[in-house]
Amino acid sequence: MTNDDGAGGAPGQETWQKRAFRRHYHSRPGWVTGTERFHALLREKLAPGGRILEIGAGPSNTTTRFLAEIGEVTGLDLDPDVENNDACTEARVYDGGAFPLPDGHFDSVVSNYVLEHVENPARMAAECSRVLRPGGVVAFRTPNLWHYVSLIARFTPHSFHERVALKAQNVSEDAHDPYPTFHRMNTRTACRAFLEGAGFEVEVLDCIEPEPAYGQFSRLAFYPMMLWERLLNSTDRLEGLRANILCVARKRP
CATH number, domain with residue 135:
3.40.50.150
On whether residue 156 sits in a domain, the answer given is yes
Is 236 in a helix, a strand, or coil? helix
Q: Work out the pLDDT band at 79, boundaries 50, 70, 90.
A: very high
Q: Work out the pLDDT band at 14, boundaries 50, 70, 90.
A: confident
- Domain total in the chain: 1
Question: What is the model's pLDDT at position 156?
Answer: 75
On whether residue 101 sits in a domain, the answer given is yes
**Count of residues making up the chain:** 253
Strands 106-112 and 132-143: parallel
Question: What is the model's pLDDT at position 1?
Answer: 40
Question: What is the model's pLDDT at position 217?
Answer: 87
Question: What is the model's pLDDT at position 111?
Answer: 98
CA–CA distance from 71 to each of 63, 105, 200 (Å)? 12, 13, 22
User: Does the pLDDT of residue 193 top 90, yes or no?
Assistant: yes
Determine the Cα angle at 53 with ends 119 and 127, to 5°: 45
pLDDT, tens digit, 9 for 90 and up, residues 195-250: 999 999 999 999 999 999 989 889 999 999 999 999 999 999 999 999 999 999 99
Query: Considering the chain, what is the average pLDDT of its residues?
Result: 90
CA 178 to chain centre: 14
Closest CA to 101 of 129, 122, 121, 81: 129
pLDDT mean over 66-80: 98
User: Does the pLDDT of residue 160 top 80, yes or no?
Assistant: no
pLDDT mean over 61-83: 98
**Other beta carbons within 10 Å of 249:** 28
CA distance 162 to 175: 11
Q: Work out the pLDDT band at 173, boundaries 50, 70, 90.
A: very low
On whether residue 1 sits in a domain, the answer given is no
Q: Work out the pLDDT band at 155, boundaries 50, 70, 90.
A: confident
If you write DSSP's letter for every residue of 165-230 in order, what string do you get? Answer: HHHHHT--TTSPPPPP---SS-SHHHHHHHHHHTTEEEEEEEEE----GGGGG-HHHHHHHHHHHH
On whether residue 45 sits in a domain, the answer given is yes
Question: What is the model's pLDDT at position 2?
Answer: 42
On whether residue 2 sits in a domain, the answer given is no
**Contact in structure between 145 and 183 (CB atoms under 8 Å):** yes
Query: Which strands form 244-251's sheet, in the order they lie side by side?
Result: 90-93, 72-77, 51-55, 106-112, 132-143, 244-251, 200-208
Residue 123: which domain range? 16-251
User: Does the pLDDT of residue 3 top 50, yes or no?
Assistant: no
On whether residue 11 sits in a domain, the answer given is no
Angle between helices 34-45 and 62-70 (to 10 degrees): 20
On whether residue 3 sits in a domain, the answer given is no
On whether residue 29 sits in a domain, the answer given is yes
Q: Classify burial at 93, counting beta carbons within 10 Å of its beta carbon; exposed 0-12, middle 13-18, buried 19 or more.
A: middle
CA distance 124 to 202: 16
Lowest mean pLDDT among 96-100, 109-113, 158-162, 223-227: 158-162
- φ, ψ for residue 165, nearest 5 deg: -60, -45
Q: Work out the pLDDT band at 174, boundaries 50, 70, 90.
A: very low
